[in-house]
């Protein structure tokens, strides 16, 4: 009886280690994302001000800025060498929607398509940024997507990133699942 109880305790103690062991179905990496261009300016609504048509987007005294359907192109400008690097090579097209305060800080969200020419496919999914600051460049971002076509078909992408105030690039970590 004691031996059976001891075996059960040891089995339960070892279980978390087995569950947390590296899974060959996952690949991990990291790097930097960099802005390349705005391809469509989208719509801007300025509460308490007027749109300017340039930067800054709203006149002084604006209390809230609502941006919808802007399109931007980004790239992974640096990726940890290894199997992940080849699966993150190509342009990322973001559809950007944001709700900013008068200081251009607030949450953003949208969709993305990440073309990976060498794979014959792309990543497609959604992203969210609970913090986006257009004045200091501080940000947090999470992307979740699925592979469509080619070598990526059926794979899953989970990317988390951030930039500190003054950073030009977003530092990211990524997990890919087969």
Domain ranges of the chain: 26-177
The pLDDT score that the predictor gives to residue 22 is 57
Q: What is the pLDDT of residues 151-177, one digit of tens each?
A: 999 999 999 999 999 999 999 999 999
> CATH code for 26-177?
2.40.350.10
Those residues with Cβ within 8 angstroms of residue 17's Cβ, 6 or more apart along the chain or in another chain: none
C-beta neighbour count of 164 within 10 angstroms: 10
The pLDDT score that the predictor gives to residue 54 is 87
The pLDDT score that the predictor gives to residue 23 is 59
Q: What is the pLDDT of residues 20-38, one digit of tens each?
A: 445 579 999 999 999 999 9
Those residues with Cβ within 8 angstroms of residue 131's Cβ, 6 or more apart along the chain or in another chain: 105, 107, 138, 139, 140
The pLDDT score that the predictor gives to residue 55 is 85
HSE (side-chain half, CA atoms, 13 Å) at 174: 30
* pLDDT less than 70: residues of the chain: 1-23
Q: What is the 3-state secondary structure (H, E, C) of the chain?
A: CHHHHHHHHHHHHHHHHHHHCCCCCEEEEEEEEEEEEEEECCEEEEECCCECCCCCCECCCCCEEEEEEEEEEEEEEEECCCCCHHHHCCEEEEEEEEEEECCCEEEEEEEEEEEEHHHCEEEEEEEEEEEEECCCCCEEEEEEEEEECHHHCCCEEEEEEEECCCCCCEEEEEEEEC
Instruction: Please tell me the distance from the alpha carbon of residue 25 to that of residue 39, in angstroms, as a whole number.
Output: 36
The reported pTM is 0.84
C-beta neighbour count of 70 within 10 angstroms: 19
């Amino acid at each position: 009886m004691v031996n059976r109880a001891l075996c059960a305790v040891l089995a339960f103690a070892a279980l978390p280690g087995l569950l947390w062991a590296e899974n060959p179905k996952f690949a991990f990496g990291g790097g930097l994302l960099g802005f390349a261009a705005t391809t469509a300016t989208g719509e801007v609504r300025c509460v308490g001000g007027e749109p300017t048509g340039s930067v800054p987007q709203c006149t002084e005294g604006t209390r809230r800025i609502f941006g919808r359907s802007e399109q931007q192109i980004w790239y992974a400008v640096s990726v940890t060498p290894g199997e992940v690097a080849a699966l993150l090579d190509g342009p990322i097209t973001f559809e950007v929607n944001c709700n900013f305060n008068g200081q251009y800080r607030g949450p953003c969200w949208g969709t993305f398509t990440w073309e990976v020419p060498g794979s014959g496919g792309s990543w497609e999914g959604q992203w969210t940024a609970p913090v986006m600051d257009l004045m200091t460049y501080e940000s947090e971002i999470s992307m979740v997507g699925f592979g469509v076509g080619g070598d990526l078909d059926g794979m899953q992408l989970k990317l988390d990133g951030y930039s500190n105030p003054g950073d030009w690039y977003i530092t990211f970590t990524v997990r890919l699942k087969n």
